């Protein structure tokens, strides 16, 4: 059972790592403004966004769903293969002995 848990944790971390790389790439593609003379404003921006945009939240939800589905599919395949392997070993032992 610990192998299954380890595999699930690895899958989740892989999905999160891919999501992090994708968000970093998106940030790198944004245009950068050229150096300009601007007025210094020492006060914090009052209209700063406090929550992620709805598009970002939708994208995050979509990635989490895809990751969850991938983990469930992986667990199902792992369980099926484990049962097949046990059956094969049992049959092999019966033939030998």
Q: Are 11 and 72 in contact (CB under 8 A)?
A: no
Residue 77: pLDDT above 60?
A: yes
Task: Kindly report, residue by residue over 15-71, the tens digit of the pLDDT.
Answer: 777 656 555 555 556 666 666 666 776 777 677 667 888 898 999 999 999 999 999
Domain annotation covers residue 73: yes
Domain annotation covers residue 69: yes
- Domain residues for the domain of 21 are 2-27+53-96
Domain annotation covers residue 44: no
- The tokens for 1 are 């059972």
- Distance separating alpha carbons of residues 3 and 8, to the nearest angstrom: 9
pLDDT given at position 89: 95
């Amino acid at each position: 059972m610990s192998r299954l848990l380890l595999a699930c944790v690895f899958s989740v971390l892989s999905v999160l790592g891919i999501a992090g790389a994708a968000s970093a790439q998106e940030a790198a593609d944004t245009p950068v403004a050229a150096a300009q003379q601007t007025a210094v404003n020492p006060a914090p921006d009052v209209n700063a966004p406090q929550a992620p945009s709805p598009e970002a939240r939708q994208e995050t939800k979509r990635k989490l769903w895809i990751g969850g589905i991938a983990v469930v599919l992986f667990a199902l395949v792992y369980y099926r293969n484990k049962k097949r392997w046990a059956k094969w070993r049992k049959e092999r032992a019966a033939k030998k002995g």
